């Protein structure tokens, strides 16, 4: 009798467990696609130009709940996210985010670079094969033709048989074109100047869509021709330096770098609508236009995932002009936070909360103004380029009898004239090494590597690893120069970037929305990991040159 009493409950538990397990199995079988991929109606890729990771933490208490904080509180925060190559600049940065690889593969080795075949400098998005659309200037003669691999946006187009739409938007042409990829429905950028219009290239279309025409004909941009004052009382901006100082630039016509900046009074002397680029209003204009694109292109309205690639460029202009420790940069990020909140609220309304996925990163970070660093008794300084050139030219004349051995110096690389070296019966590898050893002795230069080293070695860590990832065998130079930590070749006001040092590589990575877990990691992740992560989320093929890996802890499948 006692045994029977024990057996019956045991059998009952087994039956209930079996039934529950069967129901769970059937539930999974009813939605097998969700085990393979998530299908948001829209993916929004956001690149903030020149955003250091510590802007997220430094200005945290100044942010509202709907922008950066929403992404962190609802989504995933990659706290140790880095560029794994140099040069760290806008063109390579945008290309790397969207291709899932680095310049050694995708070929965008700088914003501009010396083309060894033509013997001329070329622009990463420039293309004389196409004409401007929306302007009579040459500002629209652009295409992604120098990008050697596909992008995540290209792969989405392929996967959906061209039915998923892709639109790229940025003040800078390269910030719109490279993320949009080769097969985008459109890429639009801001002309500035006398009109403040948004334009494109005949690579994408023969005429602007009506919604762009309507936007350009409206007063949407003109309303930002107003004084730039701080959004909040300036005394509350405790996360930045003094307002007026010697580390900041001044607009033409100003006698101080302090707030307010009288935009209407400065208008004509500073390029008219171009002036808005170097204010937070440029980001607001970008947000306005992104929302217009969302509606004008009906993004996220059908069964095929669309992609909106948005780059906020004014952060870079302001950082270059005023520096990373300025009141201006703090105000710009407080206002950007509001623009992000406005964009997310519009996505909630137009696409549906939980129906879209967003990632946010930067194309590079930036160094503190070296003159400020030295005043704080911190390592830093400026490369004496005039003195270096004079000393280096003397070396070239003594060693080779001519300075023509060096054809070009750009992006901290030297391009040698191989024909001249051959005529002098000098081995290329020897010349590279001799020049590298000479440059290594100059103040402000910490390391020098040769093209031969980039070819012969397989670096896995440190500065040479970063340089090698940025070294494209067909396009890069013969000698690669690394400035000492804290040293730059730039004006004595404002911040810049481009080096393999950690202050230029450490950027944010935030994701939220459909298919994204809530959490964070301090494990190192790298820029090329973003594209394969999004591809894994969508269940589509990786871009053709992908070297990154999906960040597994980001993704959530039902």
Q: So which residues are the catalytic ones?
A: 90
Tell me the CA distances in angstroms from 439 to 278, 444, 482, one per residue in order. Answer: 36, 10, 10
Beta bridge partners of 480: 413, 449
> How far apart are alpha carbons 62 and 334 in whole angstroms?
6
Asked if residues 405 and 396 have their Cβ atoms less than 8 Å apart, the reply is: yes
Whether the upstream peptide bond of residue 165 has omega within 30° of 0, thus cis, is: no
Find out whether 173 is annotated in a ligand binding site: yes
Closest Cα partner for 412 from 494, 323, 495, 501? 501
Structure tokens, 278: 């170097």
Whether the upstream peptide bond of residue 453 has omega within 30° of 0, thus cis, is: no
Find out whether 172 is annotated in a ligand binding site: yes
Residue carrying the six token digits 């079988």:
29
Structure tokens, 463: 């500065």
Whether the upstream peptide bond of residue 26 has omega within 30° of 0, thus cis, is: no
In the three-class reduction of DSSP (H, G, I as helix; E, B as strand; rest coil), residue 359 is classed as strand
Structure tokens, 539: 């269940």
Structure tokens, 142: 């652009």
Tell me the CA distances in angstroms from 98 to 48, 66, 239, 527, one per residue in order. Answer: 14, 26, 32, 9
Find out whether 469 is annotated in a ligand binding site: no
Within 10 A of 225 (CB to CB), how many other CB atoms are there? 16
Residue 101, judged by CB atoms within 10 A of its CB (0-12, 13-18, 19+), counts as: buried
Beta bridge partners of 519: 76
> How far apart are alpha carbons 503 and 258 in whole angstroms?
26
Q: Give the DSSP H or E segment for 287.
A: helix 281-296
Geometric angle at alpha carbon 44, from 29 and 363, rounded to 5°: 125
Find out whether 246 is annotated in a ligand binding site: no
E-strand spans in 242-335?
306-312
Q: How many Å is the maximal CA-CA distance in the chain?
A: 109
Within 10 A of 543 (CB to CB), how many other CB atoms are there? 27
Tell me the CA distances in angstroms from 480 to 92, 455, 489, one per residue in order. Answer: 17, 13, 15
What strand order describes the sheet that includes 413-416? Answer: 406-410, 413-416, 479-483, 445-450
- The stretches of 418-529 forming alpha helices (DSSP H) are 418-423, 428-440, 451-456, 462-469, 502-505
- The stretches of 364-427 forming alpha helices (DSSP H) are 370-375, 385-400, 418-423
In the three-class reduction of DSSP (H, G, I as helix; E, B as strand; rest coil), residue 361 is classed as strand
- Residues contributing to the annotated binding site for substrate: 111, 172-174
- Residues contributing to the annotated binding site: 111, 172-174
């Amino acid at each position: 009798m006692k045994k029977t009493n024990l057996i019956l409950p045991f059998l009952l538990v087994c039956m209930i467990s079996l039934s529950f397990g069967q129901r769970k199995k059937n539930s999974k079988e009813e939605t097998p696609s969700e085990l393979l991929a998530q299908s948001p109606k829209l993916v929004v890729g956001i690149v903030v130009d020149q955003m250091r990771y510590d802007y997220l933490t430094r200005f945290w208490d100044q942010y509202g709940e709907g922008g950066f904080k929403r992404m962190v509180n609802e989504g995933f925060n990659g706290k140790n996210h880095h560029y794994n190559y140099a040069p760290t600049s806008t063109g390579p940065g945008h290309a790397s985010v969207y291709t899932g690889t680095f310049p050694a593969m995708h070929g965008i080795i700088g914003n501009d670079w010396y083309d060894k075949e033509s013997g001329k400098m070329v622009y990463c998005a420039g293309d004389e094969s196409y004409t401007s659309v929306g302007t009579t200037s040459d500002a629209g003669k652009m295409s992604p033709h120098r990008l050697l691999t596909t992008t995540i946006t290209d792969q989405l187009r392929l996967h959906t048989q061209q039915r998923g739409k892709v639109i790229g938007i940025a003040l800078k042409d390269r910030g719109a074109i490279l993320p949009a990829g080769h097969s985008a429905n459109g890429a639009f950028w801001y002309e500035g100047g006398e009109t403040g219009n948004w334009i494109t290239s005949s690579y994408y279309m023969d005429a602007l869509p009506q919604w762009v025409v309507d936007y350009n004909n409206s007063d949407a941009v003109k309303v930002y021709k107003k004084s730039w004052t701080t959004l909040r009382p300036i005394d509350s901006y405790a996360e930045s330096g003094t307002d007026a100082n010697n580390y900041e630039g001044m607009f033409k016509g100003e006698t101080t770098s302090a707030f307010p900046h009288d935009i209407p009074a400065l208008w004509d002397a500073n390029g008219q609508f171009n002036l808005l680029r170097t204010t937070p209003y440029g980001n607001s204009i970008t947000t306005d236009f992104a929302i217009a694109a969302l509606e004008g292109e009906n993004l996220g309205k059908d069964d095929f995932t669309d992609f909106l690639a948005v780059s906020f460029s004014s952060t870079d202009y302001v950082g270059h002009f005023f520096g990373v420790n300025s009141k201006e940069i703090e105000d710009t990020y407080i206002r950007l936070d509001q623009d992000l909140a406005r964009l997310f609220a519009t996505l909630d309304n137009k696409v549906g909360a939980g129906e879209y996925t967003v990632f946010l990163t930067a194309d590079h970070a930036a160094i503190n103004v070296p003159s400020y660093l030295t005043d704080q008794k911190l390592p830093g300084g400026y490369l004496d380029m005039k003195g270096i050139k004079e000393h280096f030219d003397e070396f070239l004349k003594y060693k080779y009898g001519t300075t023509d051995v060096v054809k070009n110096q750009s992006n901290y690389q030297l391009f040698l004239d191989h024909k001249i070296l051959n005529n002098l019966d000098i081995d290329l590898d020897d010349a590279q090494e001799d020049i590298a050893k000479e440059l290594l002795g100059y103040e402000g230069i910490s390391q020098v590597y040769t093209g031969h080293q980039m070819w012969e070695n397989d670096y896995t860590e440190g500065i040479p690893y970063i340089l090698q990832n940025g070294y494209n065998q067909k396009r890069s130079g013969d000698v690669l120069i690394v400035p000492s930590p804290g040293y730059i070749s730039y004006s004595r006001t404002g911040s810049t970037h481009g080096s393999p040092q950690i202050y230029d590589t450490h950027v944010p990575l935030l994701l939220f929305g459909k298919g994204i877990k809530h959490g964070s990691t301090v494990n190192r992740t790298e820029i090329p990991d973003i594209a394969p992560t999004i591809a894994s989320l969508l269940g589509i093929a990786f871009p053709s040159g992908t070297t990154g890996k999906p960040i597994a802890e980001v993704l959530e499948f039902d």
